[in-house]
Chains A and B, each alone.
Chain A
Amino acid sequence: MRLAIREALLAFRRAPMLSALSVTTIAFSLFAFGLFGLVALNIRNALQRVEDRVEIRAFIADGTGSEATAAAVGDISAFPEAASVRLVSQDQALQRARRELGEFSDVFEEGILPASIEVQLKPGFRDPGTVKAVAKRIEVYDFIDDIRFGEEWVEKLHRLRNIATLAGLALGLTFAIVAIIIIGSTIRMAVLARSREIAIMRLVGATNGFIRAPFLIEGFLKGTLGGVMALVLAWVALTVINRFVVQAEFFEAWMGAVGVLAGACIGLAGSALSVGRHLGRV
C-alpha cells in the first residue's frame, strides 16, 4: 500500500502538466455542474419561500361562539397536513389590515372584517389537490362563511415548481454525464500515458490489483483536488454574483462535502474503468 501511495504521488511529479490538466479539467467540469447546482438551489429556495406562504383562510360567521371556534381550531390542528392553525379575531384582522395598508388604514371601520381561522400546511402538502381537500374538510363547519386559499395562485406555483424540478433534473443529469465523460477521458489519457509502465509491471509479474492501486489512488486524489477547486471556483463566482448581480445563497456545508466526495468518486470510478479496460486489453 505504501508503494502504491508513493507511485500515485510520484505520478504527479513525473507528469506535472498532465496531472495539472487532469485536476483542472475535473475542477471545471464539476464547477459547471456546481454553478448549475447553485442556480437550482437558489430557485428552489425562492420557490420554497413562496410556498411557505400557502395558507387556507376560513372566515367565521358573525356571532359564532368562541367554544365552537376553539373546538374547530383543535380539530384542524389534528389534521396531519396542518403545520399551524391560528384563530384571528375581528380585532386582530382589523389591526393587521391597518398595519398592512398604511396610509389607507382609516378606511376600515371596526367590526367590518370577519374573524378567521388561518391554516398553514406542512411541506409536501402544499399541492393544489391537498390544499383543496383540506379546505373542503374545514368548510364542513357550519359557522364557516367563506374559505379562500388562492386556488389559481397555488396551481400556478405548483406548475412552476414541477417545471423547475423537471428542468433541474434533466439539466443536472446532462451536466453530470458531461462531467463524467470529460473526467473519464482525462483519466483515460493519464492511464494511456503510462501504458508502457503497466506493460512492464505485468511483464515482471505484478498482479492486476497491484497495478490498479496507484491509479485508483491517483484518480481519487485528482477527483478530490478537482472537487475542492470546483468548490472554491463556485464560491468565488457566487461572491461576484452577490456583489454585482443579486443576493444568492451558497451551498450548505454538507452539500459542499457531497460535491467534493462526488469528485473523488468520479475520479476513482474513472480510474477503475480506464485501468480495468486497459488491463483487459494489453
Chain B
Amino acid sequence: MIRFSHVHKTFARTGAALQDVSFQVNKGEFVFITGPSGAGKSTILKLCFFEEQPSKGEVKVYGTSSSAFRPTDIPKLRRRLGVVFQDFRLLEDRNVEANVAFALEVTGTPPSQVSPRVARLLTQVGLASKSTALPRELSGGEQQRVAIARALANDPVALIADEPTGNLDERATRGIFQLFRDINASGTAVMMATHDLDLVRRAGCRTIEVNRGQVVFDSASDGGFRPSGEVLAVEDEA
C-alpha cells in the first residue's frame, strides 16, 4: 500500500535528505519511523502524502505513483490519508466542531452528514463534551485529539503522524498513543515519526530507523535487533 523504492530526495538549499530509501508498509500495519532530528523522518512522511516528490526512485501510495501522477490525483490521495503534526495545525478562530467539520465540508461531504459524523469522531477521540471550545481553550493533548479527529474525518486507510506527541507531556503522550493503537486496531494503518524511544520500545511495533537520510534499521527485516545489538522491540506495556 505504501512503497518506497530506492528513493532519493535532495533539496536545493540543504542537499541530500534521503538516499536510497526502500521499504513497504502493508495494510493495517503500525510502523514507527525513528531517528535523530534531521535524519529524514519528516521528509519520508511528506513524500507519503505527496507534499514532496522524490528526486529519484518511486513512492507509491495506494496506487498513486510519484513517477506518473496528475495534479488532480493529489487531493484524491490525501482524502484517503489522515495527517497529524506536532503543532496540531488547527484553525484558531473556529471551535472544535468546526475544525473537524471543515475537513468534511472541503471534501464535499453532504451537509446533512457532517454533524453526525463530527459527533461520532469527537466521541471517538474523547472530546464530545468540548465540541464548542476554541483550540486555545484546550490542553495540548486535547488539541492533538482534535487534529486526530480531523485526520480521521474522511475514513482514511492510513494515518500519517509527524511527531504527534512531541509537544505533549508523558500522560498526554500515553493517551494519544493509545488512541493511535485503537485507530490501528480498527484497520487503519499508522505511520508515526517519533524520536521517543521509550514509546517505541514499549509499543513493540515495527520500527524503521533512519539516520542521515538512510534506513539503518527495519525491524521487519532485521528482527528485533538494531545494528548495535540493542534490543528495540519488547513487550507492549501500553
Q: Are A14 and B93 in contact (CB under 8 A)?
A: yes
- Which A residues are CB-close (under 8 A) to B106? 3, 201, 204-206, 210-211
Query: Could you list 11 examples of A-B contacts with CB < 8 Å?
Result: A200-B89, A203-B78, A203-B83, A204-B78, A204-B106, A204-B150, A205-B106, A205-B107, A206-B75, A208-B71, A210-B106
Q: Are A196 and B89 in contact (CB under 8 A)?
A: yes
Given the contacts A3-B105, A210-B106, A204 and B154 also touching, CB distance less than 8 Å: yes
Q: Are B89 and A197 in contact (CB under 8 A)?
A: no
Q: Are A197 and B150 in contact (CB under 8 A)?
A: no
Q: Are B76 and A205 in contact (CB under 8 A)?
A: yes
**Which secondary structure characterizes the binding site on chain A?**
helix
- Which A residues are CB-close (under 8 A) to B77? 205
- Which A residues are CB-close (under 8 A) to B153? 204
Minimum CB–CB distance for A202 against chain B, Å: 7
Minimum CB–CB distance for A43 against chain B, Å: 49
Residue of B nearest to A197 (CB): B91
CA–CA, A201 and B62, complex, Å = 21
Within 8 A of A (CB), among B161-189: none
**Residue from the list A14, A196, A204 in contact with B107, Cβ < 8 A:** A204
Beyond the given pairs A197-B91, A204-B102, 15 more chain A to chain B contacts, judged by CB atoms under 8 angstroms and listed by A's residue number, are A196-B91, A200-B89, A200-B91, A200-B102, A202-B75, A203-B49, A203-B78, A203-B89, A204-B106, A205-B75, A205-B76, A205-B107, A206-B107, A208-B75, A210-B108
Q: Determine if A20 is an interface residue (Cβ-Cβ < 8 Å).
A: no
- Which A residues are CB-close (under 8 A) to B71? 208
Q: Are B83 and A207 in contact (CB under 8 A)?
A: no
CA–CA, A200 and B93, complex, Å = 14
Minimum CB–CB distance for A175 against chain B, Å: 36
CA–CA, A201 and B83, complex, Å = 12
CA–CA, A210 and B109, complex, Å = 13
Q: Are B72 and A207 in contact (CB under 8 A)?
A: yes
Q: Determine if B206 is an interface residue (Cβ-Cβ < 8 Å).
A: no
Range of interface residues on chain A? 10 to 19
- Which A residues are CB-close (under 8 A) to B72? 207
Q: Determine if B79 is an interface residue (Cβ-Cβ < 8 Å).
A: yes
- Which B residues are CB-close (under 8 A) to A206? 75, 106-107
CA–CA, A277 and B107, complex, Å = 22
Chain A proximity mask over B183-214: 1 for CB below 8 Å, otherwise 0: 00000000000000000000000000000000
Within 8 A of B (CB), among A145-184: none
Q: Determine if B103 is an interface residue (Cβ-Cβ < 8 Å).
A: yes
Q: Are A204 and B91 in contact (CB under 8 A)?
A: no
Minimum CB–CB distance for B164 against chain A, Å: 14
Q: Determine if A199 is an interface residue (Cβ-Cβ < 8 Å).
A: yes
Chain A proximity mask over B93-136: 1 for CB below 8 Å, otherwise 0: 10000000011011110000000000000000000000000000
Minimum CB–CB distance for B7 against chain A, Å: 21
CA–CA, A233 and B187, complex, Å = 63
**Residue from the list B79, B89, B91, B93 in contact with A205, Cβ < 8 A:** B79
Residue of A nearest to B108 (CB): A210
CA–CA, A20 and B78, complex, Å = 35
CA–CA, A208 and B154, complex, Å = 18
Minimum CB–CB distance for A6 against chain B, Å: 9
Given the contacts A3-B105, A200-B102, A201-B106, A207 and B91 also touching, CB distance less than 8 Å: no
- Which B residues are CB-close (under 8 A) to A201? 102, 106
- Which B residues are CB-close (under 8 A) to A14? 93
- Which A residues are CB-close (under 8 A) to B150? 204
Minimum CB–CB distance for A193 against chain B, Å: 11
- Which A residues are CB-close (under 8 A) to B78? 202-205
Chain B proximity mask over A232-270: 1 for CB below 8 Å, otherwise 0: 000000000000000000000000000000000000000
Minimum CB–CB distance for B148 against chain A, Å: 13
Minimum CB–CB distance for A13 against chain B, Å: 10
Chain B proximity mask over A188-225: 1 for CB below 8 Å, otherwise 0: 00000000110111111111101100000000000000
